[in-house]
Amino acid sequence: MKKFNNIFTPLTVKTMTIKNRIVMPPMGTNYGGTNGEFTEEHIKYYEQRAKGGTGLIIIENVCVDFTMGSNGTTQIRLDHDKYIPGLYKLTERLHKHGACASIQINHSGASAVPARMEGRTPVSSSDIPSKTGGAVPRALTKEEILDIVEKYAAAAKRAQMAGFDAVEIHAGHSYLICQFLSPVYNKRTDEFGGSIENRARFARMIIDAVRREVGPMFPIMLRVSAEEFIEGGNTLEDTLEILQYLNDEVDIFNVSSALNDSIQYQIDAMYLEDGWRSYMAKAVKDKFNKPVITTGNIRNPQVADDILKEGKADLIGMGRGLIAEPNWANKVQSGKEDTLRKCISCNIGCAGHRIGLNRPIRCTINPDVINEDTLENRKVNKQTNVVVIGGGTAGLEAACTAAEAGSTTFLLEQKAYLGGLAREIAKLPAKDRINDFPDYLINRAKNLKNLITFTNTTASVELVENLKPDVIINATGSKPLLPPITGLLDRIDKQEKIQSIFGLIKNVEMFKNLDLKGKKIAVVGGGAVGLDVVEFFTEKDAEVTIIERLPVLGRDLDIVTKVQMMTMVEENKVNVMTDTSLLEVKDNSFKVNRDGKDQEIEFDYGFVCLGMRSETPILASLQEKFADTGVEVINIGDSLRARRIIDGTQEGRYTTINVLEKLNLI
């Protein structure tokens, strides 16, 4: 068994001893009650990560000044003593499992939403919105600044009374303190603006006020955006200078990055490598010789251990990674690395739900982020045979779930390998992290003795009937949507110049090796897949045109991916043609209509990415064969309707459980 001694070495900071170096950093959830209180569901969510061995859990940002400082649809609050009892119940539960607990105190400033503030104008250092298109705030008066300082101090004292082991002050990510620290936002000319010392003054006052309230031995943490990745924003060198004014009385620096308009470097985009941000933490650690937390797509235990060994950081922050895998620390410590459900950084169920849709967070690869995912107490009550057709991620999740519930399960896959569309998309260089999900599912399946997998096997009604099923789960996926456009079906994937996404994937190695500088690439379809194709070819210095029938690109993307993709499009000067319809596919061009005028878009390579449609080759035959037999036939994932991986994962888990319950088998 591989030992990761650096990860599992305790760390003491003043009165707090953390049992290992794994930290759950603060992430909004939308699990809070409508009045800012902690709910039982919310406590269970954090408790799962404590049970899973996490050393330090930092509770998501809590409002110190409601409503003016509110953030999130159902943000928790700490602006009144009435919230102390609920938070104490939380810390009791976390401490019971050996985890330390901190909480992040925050005022959102210009990031607050006026509709949630009874129409009042948000406040900030100046009148600069916290993001492109955001509400225009008003500048705080000096009296208001002093009042907010005291609200931070009062919230910190309440956190201490609620049993927390430390408190974190949020000074990054385009929230109020950051709006003073960053020259992007701060245009003041008084003692709170201009020079670095002046811009740091508000944060300095808050740190001092918090220390006054919590005493000398209670750890204070400070989260900062060390690199803002915005033109005119703070660089790492600027932040190191700022922290000279903030260092006193800070015990741990939580080193993050980015502002709202560079959110792909805060909530890390998929393509960013494990531990990519650790250079920032090392710079802070080297300058101030204090414990630092680093975050940044860290999924691999060896990467985490190496960061600690090389002195780049003292603590490893793993946010979305612990949403996906609450038991990360325990699994790594017990040598079960191959069973880790590693976050794929898709940002759909977490950031996409919370920021973009005001929903409670979910996870693409973890179908239940609140409760333990064991089925130990939910087993079938008699011999039950389940046949799953299709070995993509939805089918694998369904097959594993059925087997874990005690069913004898047969998984039929026509290809030589498992993983489905996820495995195909992961062949694109920027998407290779997706491989971690089918890898996890395949390892999970291998450990289930009652799950028998057949690859290179085309399902037929006869074959399924011979397996004597009680339940049949169809998960046969999807294929490209190819409407009856003149010339499309005659040419796509039948000649090298015109391809679908599957054509690109099939030939990806060829395209990697081609010199495409200056070559003309035309992509029809401005959704997620089309933008993936654009990203691939812009990295090859091709001249890319994207054609989309709708007025905007990436309409259904999560907020992080959308910002990332729009930045990519702008930086690479992609020719964007929205409100444009494809009329005809020719050998070397697309005929399109824009603003009522027909145009020819010439290309060296053309790609048509108009979405996917369900594929159900034998579903109707199965339904006919097993009608009125008591055998349940269900359809899940993309074969029900082409969507995202998250939908198939949910259905693979819960539709399977529900049908077993419906048949009174569990």
Model confidence pLDDT, tens digit, residues 500-537:
999 999 999 999 999 999 999 999 999 999 999 999 99
- Residue 81: pLDDT band (50, 70, 90) is very high
pTM: 0.95
Classify residue 297 as left (phi > 0), alpha (psi -120 to 50) or beta.
left
Instruction: Compute the distance between CA of residue 187 and CA of residue 127 in angstroms, rounded to an integer.
Output: 8
- pLDDT 10s digits, 619-657: 999 999 999 999 999 999 999 999 999 999 999 999 999
Segments of the chain assigned to CATH 3.50.50.60: 488-610
Segments of the chain assigned to CATH 3.20.20.70: 11-357
Class of the CATH domain delimited by 11-357: alpha beta
Which helix or strand (DSSP H or E) is residue 181 part of? helix 176-181
- pLDDT 10s digits, 243-295: 999 999 999 999 999 999 999 999 999 999 999 999 999 999 999 999 999 99
Instruction: Compute the distance between CA of residue 496 and CA of residue 492 in angstroms, rounded to an integer.
Output: 9
Sequence-separated contacts (24+) of 660-666 with Cβ below 8 Å: 660/380, 660/384, 660/402, 660/405, 660/407, 660/471, 662/632, 663/470, 663/471, 663/632, 664/381, 665/380, 665/381, 665/382, 665/384, 665/407, 665/470, 666/378, 666/379, 666/380, 666/381, 666/405, 666/406
Residue 91: how many CB atoms within 10 A of its CB?
Answer: 23
Active site residue 417: no
Fold type of domain 385-479+614-662: Rossmann fold (3.40.50)
Residue 629: how many CB atoms within 10 A of its CB?
Answer: 11
Instruction: Supply the Cα-derived Rg of the chain in whole angstroms.
Output: 27
Residue 496 has a pLDDT of 86
Q: Which of 83, 175, 271, 440 is catalytic?
A: 175
Segments of the chain assigned to CATH 3.40.50.720: 385-479+614-662
**Is domain 488-610 in CATH 3.50.50.60, yes or no?**
yes
Cis peptide before 67 (omega within 30 of 0): yes
- pLDDT 10s digits, 344-380: 999 999 988 888 788 999 999 999 999 887 787 789 9
Q: Helix crossing, 40-51 with 84-96: angle to 10°?
A: 30
Which helix or strand (DSSP H or E) is residue 112 part of? none
- pLDDT 10s digits, 308-330: 999 999 999 999 999 999 999 99
